[in-house]
Amino acid sequence: MTETKTLSLAEIEDLSFRALVAAGTSEANARPLAVATAATEADGVASHGLAYIPIYAEHVQCGKVDGQAIPALARPRPGVVAVDAATGFAHSAIDLGFEALIPAARAQGVAVLAIRNSYNCGVLGYHTARLARAGLVGLGFTNAPASIAPSGGARPVVGTNPFSVAVQGEDGEPELLIDQSASTIAKSEVMKHAREGKEIPLGWALDADGNPTTDPDAGLKGSMAPSGGYKGVGVALLTEIMAAALTGATLGINASPFSGTAGGPPKTGQMFIAIDPVATSNDSFRSGMVGIVEAVRAQTGAHLPGDGRRGKRLKARTDGVAVSVATLNRIQALLG
């Protein structure tokens, strides 16, 4: 059984921040990433939480991501915010972009944020949830290095390419949070199984010949299984258009891996769309959402996307999070 230790969210943020700075990340870049790491652990998405800190540190040290980067913002049109992440962490670029995106969406009813020359943005739903807390409907797209083969093919051409939608509830927290990749499972989960020497369930990945496999290493050398077959490929292509083609970022087929030290900066992209529901629905948005939510809640055992994370998040704020001691030891090693 995995040995764990319970940390508060403040302790997780502080540990993450100190480790990132020790690895060569500027404090300005380390803070938003540390905040996101704590929030990710709170939501129960351990694969993108503290376990990623040693990977981030390694990537700063090998130059896959520039820990000292300063993202640059531009406003090419009134409804468009563009940020060049300068091969730095996506979180800093998103923070900078949201400072302009949120007021633009409130003023105009809708606005978009296009980010290029970026890096892995972690849990996409963490970012769209922030837009929801601002009273906006948040949509997000992020592309990744190619790991999904096209229908009928065996060579990956698009990444797991998540998309997310977040809508605020009466308490200010996201009431509906869709956050899903185009693959059956996020690639980070396969990587986590490989690190731990565990088999993966059949249906998660395919080997290099396009055959189903339970070996995570074979899956990482092959391709991720698309969710819903050709429909998952379609979602991946949609996200590739939104997050790469429309932002000027590197296509997944040309991007270096998010794992390992080879290849230099991936220079992938993110796209966020923020919509003020009051502007589009003639004040009927809330009643429409109530209708959607109540239709689901009326069924015994039914749940909305995001319910699981919401419950864990609220509990973690008071009880903290149980984290792997092995992961903590790897992070402590970064601090000397």
Q: What percent of the chain has pLDDT over 90?
A: 86
CA angle, 252 as apex, 247 and 258 as ends, to 5°? 105
- Among candidate residues 26, 47, 92, 164, the one labeled active-site is 47
- Among candidate residues 13, 41, 175, 189, the one labeled active-site is 189
Cβ–Cβ under 8 Å, residues 321 and 328: no
- Among candidate residues 13, 16, 26, 48, the one labeled active-site is 48
pLDDT tens digits along 107-164 = 999 999 999 999 999 999 999 999 999 999 999 999 999 999 998 888 899 999 999 9
Assign a CATH topology to domain 71-183+226-306.
Answer: Ribosomal Protein S8; Chain: A, domain 1 (3.30.1370)
The residue to which tokens 């007021």 are assigned:
103
Q: Is 47 among the catalytic positions?
A: yes
Provide long-range contacts, Cβ within 8 A and 24+ apart, for 245-248: 246/114, 246/271, 247/82, 247/114, 247/115, 247/116, 247/271, 248/114, 248/116
Domain boundaries, the chain: 71-183+226-306
pLDDT band at 211 (very low <50, low <70, confident <90, very high): confident
CA 295, CA 28: separation in Å to the nearest integer? 44
Amino acid letter, 302: A
pLDDT tens digits along 299-336 = 999 999 999 999 999 999 999 999 999 999 999 999 98
The residue to which tokens 């429909």 are assigned:
231
- What would the mean pLDDT of 268-275 be, rounded to a whole number? 98
* pLDDT higher than threshold 80 for residue 1: no
Give the pLDDT score at 91.
98
